[in-house]
């Protein structure tokens, strides 16, 4: 029986209220807020968070594949899944690929993963979806879009939600599109899209699934499906003949926002968090057609409760004080040009040190037992030579030993909080603190690791970071 073995999710800590957007553009808007990725986050870093959440307490070496769905990859040419694979410290001899170009990518990836497991080419496959789309300023999308990620481990042992069947529908329908040279997506009139696409394709795919499996709407415990806004979401529920009060999982459109490819998967994680053995969960993705899935929850669900998932991430938040702060972290303006030279990174260095940079491996001296980072030839404690065992530090926690807050660093969000951390299991790590409230930082404060963009290409220098997203591990106050 193939199905979901584990789940995980990620919601960035920042929220922007619709009120703040309305105040900026001097217009009346609805209530609610959007989850906003920090300046050092993108679809890759959020994908890493969701994958690691999904693998909480599990053996990462048992994962045989990583299929990553996003419509906001950092690179048009260069696979995102390969970066996530490295940061999550999954094996190298696995199949990784990106599913892009459609909001429906997560559903496609999930079907492909289930098929791979069923066919025996893989025992366990990670399916992750992550989105950080940038809406046009003062557009309807700006009120709707949110950022987030979800991940599922698909397998046939210790299954927590059995995949009972799926139904797939593809369509040449055009609702929204974006060419490589477009800064923002283009759309057609929302009424046309609502009537001809949302209201028809998801119900059609769900209807096909019901017919295929011989079930009726009343057999569904909870439905987790995509819609661009809350009103349409309710209308789709009605079209599928679900009771909106009891059978529809809250789509989080008012507190997280429309996270695109990641939205339906995130709603599914929220449904699984509350699910009981025996529940039947409908999952439907939309975009260029629709995919519908039916899952039956097993007793195993009780064993994977210890996830941050949706609930804990949503509860842990910091409000952006105003629209200006949003402009800053999303780099929506062209800033004053820099007088200092661009900081270059070196591809041979990044390649040579990949285990230390992406998976954050340090080393433990076999002679004196001290953990050290970064890699050394001679132990910095006892001077023994070349006598170390590798040790992964990305899953370690620590306490702030000391910190400073630099107001003039080359960094989007100032101050840049330089942080020296003593790790709880030994060793010391020097990094930058992110997702922090600067009034609450103190010596001794507990912190954890988070994979971020240490230096991006988007500064006001032509070859800042050698034009790359230079990913590295930062620390943050223990999130939730």
Partner 1 sequence: MESLKDKVAIVGMGCTAFGEFWHMDTIDLIVEAADEAFKDAGVTAKDIQAAWVGYTVSDTAMTGIILSSALQLQFLPVTRVENACGTGAETIRGAALGLASKTYDLVLALGFEKMKDAGFGGIGQAWPGKWHPVYGAAPEVGGAVGRYALAATKYFSTYGLTPEQGKTMLAKVSVKSHYNGSRNPKAMLRNRITIEQVLNAPIIAWPLGLFDCCGICDGASAAIMCRTEDAKRYRPNGDYVTVKASAIACGPGWGKERTNYGYTVWEETEAAAKQAYEMAGIKNPRKELSLAEIHDCFSIAEVIAAESMSLCQKGHARDDIESGAWEQNGEIPVNVSGGLKAFGHPAGASGGREVYEFYKQFQGKAEDPSRQLKDLKMGLSHNQGGHPGNFVAGITIVGEPPSK
Using the minimum distance from each CB to partner 1, give the nearer residue, 35 or 449.
449
Using the minimum distance from each CB to partner 1, give the nearer residue, 285 or 394.
394
Rule CB under 8 A: is residue 173 a binding residue for partner 1? no
Using the minimum distance from each CB to partner 1, give the nearer residue, 147 or 464.
464
Among 409, 413, 467, 479, binds partner 1 (CB under 8 A): 409
Rule CB under 8 A: is residue 1 a binding residue for partner 1? no
Residue 426's contacts (CB-CB under 8 Å, 6 or more residues apart) are 364, 369, 370, 371
Among 243, 406, 424, 425, binds partner 1 (CB under 8 A): 406
Q: Which helix (H) or strand (E) holds 48?
A: helix 43-54
Rule CB under 8 A: is residue 171 a binding residue for partner 1? no
H-type alpha helices, 388-441:
none
Cα angle 200-271-85, degrees, rounded to a multiple of 5: 95
Spatial contact of 353 and 345, defined as CB atoms under 8 Å apart: no
SS3 at position 468: coil
Site string for partner 1, 429-448 (x = CB under 8 A): xxxx----------x-----
Using the minimum distance from each CB to partner 1, give the nearer residue, 183 or 407.
407
**Of the listed pieces 39-47, 127-135, 220-228, 337-345, which binds partner 1 according to CB under 8 A?**
337-345
Using the minimum distance from each CB to partner 1, give the nearer residue, 354 or 366.
354
Give which of 205, 198, 201, 171 is closest to 292, Cα–Cα. 205
The string of DSSP codes covering 14-67 is EEEEHHHHHHHHT----S-EEEE--TT--HHHHHHHHHHHHTTTS-GGG--EEE
Q: Which helix (H) or strand (E) holds 50?
A: helix 43-54
Among 420, 463, 467, 479, binds partner 1 (CB under 8 A): 420
- Sheet containing 318-319: give its strands across: 33-36, 14-17, 318-319
Spatial contact of 365 and 385, defined as CB atoms under 8 Å apart: no
Site string for partner 1, 352-381 (x = CB under 8 A): -x--xx------------x-xxxxx---xx
Tokens representing residue 112 in the block: 């492909």
- Within 386-405, the residues that bind partner 1 by CB under 8 A are 401-405
User: 381 — phi, psi (to 5°)?
Assistant: -105, -45
Using the minimum distance from each CB to partner 1, give the nearer residue, 199 or 405.
405
Rule CB under 8 A: is residue 230 a binding residue for partner 1? no
Residues at the contact surface with partner 1, assessed by CB under 8 A: 339-340, 343-345, 349-350, 353, 356-357, 370, 372-376, 380-381, 401-411, 415-416, 418, 420, 422, 426-432, 443, 454-455, 465, 470-472
């Amino acid at each position: 029986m193939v199905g979901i073995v584990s789940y995980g999710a990620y919601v960035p800590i920042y929220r922007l209220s619709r009120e703040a957007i309305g105040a900026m553009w001097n217009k009346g808007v609805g209530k609610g807020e959007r989850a906003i990725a920090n300046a050092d986050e993108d679809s890759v870093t959020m994908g890493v968070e969701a994958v690691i959440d999904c693998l909480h307490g599990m053996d990462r070496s048992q994962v045989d594949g990583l299929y990553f769905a996003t419509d906001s990859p950092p690179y048009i040419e260069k696979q995102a899944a390969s970066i996530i694979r490295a940061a999550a410290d999954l094996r190298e001899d696995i199949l990784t690929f990106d599913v892009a170009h459609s909001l429906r990518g997560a559903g496609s990836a999930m079907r492909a993963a289930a098929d791979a497991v069923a066919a025996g080419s893989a025992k366990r496959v990670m399916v992750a979806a992550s989105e950080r789309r940038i809406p046009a300023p003062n557009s309807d999308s700006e009120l709707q879009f949110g950022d987030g990620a979800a991940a599922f481990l698909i397998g046939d042992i210790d299954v927590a939600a059995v995949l009972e069947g799926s139904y797939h529908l593809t369509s040449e329908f055009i609702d929204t599109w974006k060419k490589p040279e477009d800064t923002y997506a283009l759309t057609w009139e929302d009424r046309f899209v609502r009537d001809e696409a949302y209201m028809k394709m998801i119900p059609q795919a769900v209807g096909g699934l019901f017919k295929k499996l011989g079930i009726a709407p009343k057999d569904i415990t909870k439905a987790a499906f995509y819609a661009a806004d809350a009103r349409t979401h309710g209308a789709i529920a009605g079209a599928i003949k679900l009771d909106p009060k009891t059978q529809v999982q809250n789509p989080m459109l008012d507190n997280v926002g429309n996270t695109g490819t990641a939205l339906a998967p995130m709603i599914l994680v929220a449904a699984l968090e509350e699910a009981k053995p025996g529940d039947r969960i409908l999952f439907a993705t939309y975009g260029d057609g629709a995919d519908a899935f039916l899952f039956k929850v097993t007793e195993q669900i009780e064993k994977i409760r210890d996830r941050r998932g949706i609930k804990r991430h949503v509860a842990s938040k910091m409000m952006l004080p105003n629209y200006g702060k949003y402009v800053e972290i999303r780099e929506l303006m062209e800033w004053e040009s820099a007088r200092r030279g661009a900081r270059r990174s070196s591809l041979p260095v990044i390649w040579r040190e990949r285990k230390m940079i992406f998976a954050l491996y340090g080393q433990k001296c076999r002679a004196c037992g001290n953990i050290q980072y970064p890699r050394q030839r001679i132990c910095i404690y006892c001077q023994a030579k070349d006598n170390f065992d590798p040790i992964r530090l990305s899953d370690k926690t620590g306490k702030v030993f000391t910190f400073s807050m630099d107001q003039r660093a080359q960094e989007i969000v100032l101050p840049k909080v330089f942080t020296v951390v003593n790790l709880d299991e030994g060793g010391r790590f020097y990094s930058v603190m992110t997702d922090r409230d600067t009034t609450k930082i103190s010596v001794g404060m507990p912190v954890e690791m988070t994979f971020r963009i240490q230096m991006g290409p988007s500064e006001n220098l032509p070859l800042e970071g050698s034009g790359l997203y230079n990913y590295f591990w930062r620390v943050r106050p223990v999130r939730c």
